[in-house]
Chains A and B, each alone.
Chain A
Amino acid sequence: MADHKINPNNWINLYSDYLFNYTISRVSDREMAQDLVSETFLAGLKSMANFKGEASERTWLISILKRKIIDYYRKINSNKGKAEVRMNYNSDSEAEGDWLEERVADPFDKTAEDKLENSELGDAIYDCMAKLPEKQAEVFKMKTILGYDTETICNELGITASNLWVIIHRARTALAECMEKNWF
């Protein structure tokens, strides 16, 4: 049943940061992450007709992005000619990862485990941020993630410093509540 509608006019506003964060935590290259997000949106546009509405737009875009990231790693591996990739890909199952390696925990690989947990934590934070009113999300993002100083944000958005702190307070309260329900 088609529950979800597609509207590419809102994609940049709604999903660019989420997709970018998802990508950068997996490719660790800012420019490449931007390219992959851009390619994902363009691929989404081209294949809009395939959107059945069974999953949300974001889930659908993430599935395109995942393939782009896999392609990116395949490409760099084949370019290097060093790494021999012998991974079995399985997209039939409904389990979390498509790669066999994603399903097997390596008890000695603490770094990879931590990295995975951190990227999941990042996804959870973005899920909660998506529930904030647009203005709150924007101010929170500029202050907390981009690290802009108070004056810059106030000048850019035309708000006073006390307005900014009220918005930050509301955003942090809502986010902490959401994270408490979903993560902590």
Chain B
Amino acid sequence: MKKSFLFISCEEAQHICDKRQYGEATGWERVKLGIRLSWCRITKAYSSRNNKLTDAINKAEVDCLNNNERDKLKQEFEKELAKHQ
């Protein structure tokens, strides 16, 4: 019981790592992840790849249409498309 309080599975560690990418991991979860990272090579590799992906996304400043913009575009396009079909 006490062990699971502090020690987490690899899957849970990866889940916390995912949440951390979005700033949604709690302080306690970050502590548990830190402990797992100190000895688990698999978690460490996953975390490193995950961080790298986040860095790449932030660096590239990727953008996309939000739902309203997309709906507007779709409506305009479908109107024109109907004329061609």
A residues in contact with B15, CB < 8 Å: 165, 169
Q: Which of A45, A124, A172 lies at the interface centre, i.e. has the most chain B CB atoms within 10 A of its CB?
A: A172
Instruction: Report A-chain residues with C-beta under 8 Å of the C-beta of B64.
Output: 17, 20-21, 141, 145-146
Q: Give Cα A125 to B72, complex, Å.
A: 25
Out of B19, B53, B63, which one reaches A20, CB within 8 Å? B63
**Could you tell me the distance in whole angstroms from the C-beta of A94 to the nearest C-beta in chain B?**
26
Q: Shortest beta-carbon distance, A47 to chain B, in Å?
A: 11
Of the listed stretches A63-71, A73-81, A175-183, chain B binds A175-183
The interface-forming segment of A34-42, A54-62, A85-93, A95-103 is: A34-42
From B59, B60, B84, A45 is in contact (CB under 8 Å) with B84
Q: Mark A92-128, 1 if CB is under 8 A from B, else 0.
A: 0000000000000000000000000011011011100
Q: Is the CB of A16 within 8 A of B50?
A: no
Residues of A within 8 A of B18 (CB): 165, 168-169, 172
In the bound complex, residues from chain A placing their C-beta under 8 Å from that of B14 are 169
Instruction: Mark contacts of B8-32 with chain A using CB atoms, 8 A cut-off: 1 yes-contact digit, 0 otherwise.
Output: 0000001100110110100000000
Q: Is the CB of B60 within 8 A of A122?
A: yes
Residues from chain A with a CB closer than 8 A to the CB of B35 are none
A34 lies within 8 A of B69 (CB): yes
**Which of B14, B21, B50, B73 neighbours the largest number of chain A CB atoms within 10 Å of its CB?**
B73
Q: Which of B25-49 contact A (CB under 8 A)?
A: 49
Residues on B with beta carbons closer than 8 Å to the beta carbon of A125: 56-57, 60, 62
What's the Cα separation between A99 and B19 when bound, in Å?
43
* Closest A residue by C-beta to B84: A45
* Contact status A38-B49, CB under 8 Å: no
Interface residues of B (CB under 8 A from A): 14-15, 18-19, 21-22, 24, 49-50, 52-53, 56-57, 59-67, 69-70, 72-74, 76-77, 80-81, 84
20 of the cross-chain contacts (CB-CB < 8 Å) are A11-B77, A16-B65, A16-B74, A17-B64, A24-B63, A42-B77, A45-B81, A48-B84, A118-B60, A119-B60, A121-B59, A121-B60, A125-B56, A125-B62, A126-B62, A165-B18, A169-B18, A172-B50, A176-B50, A176-B53
